[in-house]
Amino acid sequence: MPCDSAFKNPKDAQLVLEKIAQLSGRTGPVRLMEVCGTHTMSIARTGLKSLLPAQITLLSGPGCPVCVTPAGAMDAVFALAKDPHILLASYGDLLRIPGTQRKTSLLSQKAKGARVESVYSPMDALRLAKAHPELEVVFLGVGFETTAPGTAACILQAASEKLSNFSVLCLLKRTEPALRSLIEAKDFGVSGFLCPGHVAAVTGSDAFSFLPKDYGLPAVVAGFDAADLLYSVAELMRMLADGRPGLKNEYVRVVRPEGNPAALSLTDRVFSPCDAFWRGLGCVSKGGFAIREEFALWDSARKFGFSFSEGAEPPGCCCAQVIRGVVPPTDCPLFGKACTPQDPIGPCMVSSEGACAAAYRYRQIPL
C-alpha cells in the first residue's frame, strides 16, 4: 500500500524509531498535532501510535474538511435539498454527516426523495448541470486550500459558458486563521505541528512559517506515507530537544516554499477571505473563502438566500473538543457506545478522515 511502501526494509523504520525514542528522553512528554485528515488515516493505518514512545502523544486537529463544517450548515443544506428543483452535488464524504438532529444526513434525505449525487470533482457537478437544464445544480464546496482552486476553476468555467443553472455553496476554509485561533485558545496544549502536505502543495511551505515565528512552535510539512510521518516526527522531536523551533519541509518532492502560483491565483481570482464558522472553533476571522461579487450568479448563498447559524452540537458529543485536540476521541462518553461508524452522532465518527472514525476503525493493539 502506498502509505507504507516507502520502507523497503523494516530495519530502516527501526532506526528512525530508535532515534525518536532517544530524543524523547531529552524532551519529556510532548503533544504533536496533525491537521490533515489524510495524516489522521495514515497514522492510524500504519499503526504508528503503537510504535512511538509513551511520552509522545499524537493528536488530530481540525484537518478533516467535513468535520469542521458546522452542524448548522448541514441543517441549512438539508433544507435546500428538500426543494424538488435542486440537485445537490456533493463529495461522497459529506453524505453521511449529520446536522443538529440525530439521524439526519444527505443520504437519508436522498432516501426520502431528495436529489443528491455523489461526485468526485466540481467539474462532475458542472456536467450534471448541463445534463439537467431543468434542475438547479448546487455543488457543495467544502474543503481547504486544496479543493479551492478546482472549485474556482469550475466557477470560471460556468461563468465563461454562462451556465445559469449551476452554483456553488461555498463552505471552503482557510487553514492559517484556524490554526491561529486554535493556538490562541486558553486550552491549547500542543508542542509542535505536522503540517498538511496537500494544503502546503498549494499554499507553499512558507505559509506555515508563522508557527515558529509568531508562536515559537516547531512545524514540519509532512507527506503521507509511513516514512514521511516517521521522519517528520523525528524532525519535530529534534527541534523540540534542541529548543530550536523552526519550519522544515519534509515533503520536498511535492511541496515548494512558494506553493503553486497557478492554483493560488485561481483561488484569488474567484474567492476572497471571509469570516467563517468552524465546528469546534466557532467564528474564525478570515477563516473561510467567499465567492467574489463578480461571480454572484454562481454563488448558491446569494442565489437561494442561504444562511446558517453555527448550530448546537448533539448532546454529549465531544466533536468540537476532539477537533481542537483537547479531548481524545476515546475520552468522549459516546465513543464506541452510542456513537459508532454504523450509527454516528458526530461528524468525526462519520468522515473516513475523522479522528473518531480513525480511532474506532483502527484501534491500536499493544504489541
Q: What is the footprint of other proteins within residues 328-347 (CB under 8 A)? A: 340-342
What phi and psi, each to the nearest 5 degrees, are found at residue 289?
-110, 140
Nearer to other proteins, 80 or 94 (CB): 94
Which single residue is written with the C-alpha cell 478533516? 64
Can residue 53 be called a binding residue for other proteins (CB under 8 A)? no
DSSP string across 145-162: TTTHHHHHHHHHHHHHTT
59, 68, 95, 263: which one contacts other proteins (CB under 8 A)? 95
DSSP string across 284-303: EEEEEEEE-GGGGGGBHHHH
Helix (H/G/I), strand (E/B), else coil: 283: strand
Q: What is the footprint of other proteins within residues 54-73 (CB under 8 A)? A: 65-66
Can residue 32 be called a binding residue for other proteins (CB under 8 A)? no
Nearer to other proteins, 40 or 191 (CB): 40
Nearer to other proteins, 68 or 301 (CB): 68
Can residue 10 be called a binding residue for other proteins (CB under 8 A)? yes
The number of beta carbons lying within 10 Å of the beta carbon of residue 338 is 16
Q: To the nearest whole angstrom, how small is the minimum distance from the Cβ of residue 201 to other proteins? A: 10
Can residue 38 be called a binding residue for other proteins (CB under 8 A)? yes
Give every strand in the sheet of 56-60, ordered side by side.
56-60, 30-34, 192-196, 219-222, 247-249
Can residue 143 be called a binding residue for other proteins (CB under 8 A)? yes
Q: How many residues bind other proteins (CB under 8 A)?
A: 53
d(CA 251, CA 278): 27
39, 96, 180, 279: which one contacts other proteins (CB under 8 A)? 96
Q: Give the CB-side neighbour count of residue 180, counting CA atoms within 13 A.
A: 15
147, 165, 175, 249: which one contacts other proteins (CB under 8 A)? 147
Nearer to other proteins, 119 or 284 (CB): 119
- HEC profile of 195-230: EEHHHHHHHCHHHHCHHHHHHCCCEEEECCCHHHHH
What are the residues binding other proteins (CB under 8 A)? 1-5, 7, 10, 13-14, 37-38, 41, 44-51, 65-66, 91-96, 118, 120, 124, 142-144, 146-147, 198, 226, 230, 340-342, 351-353, 360-367
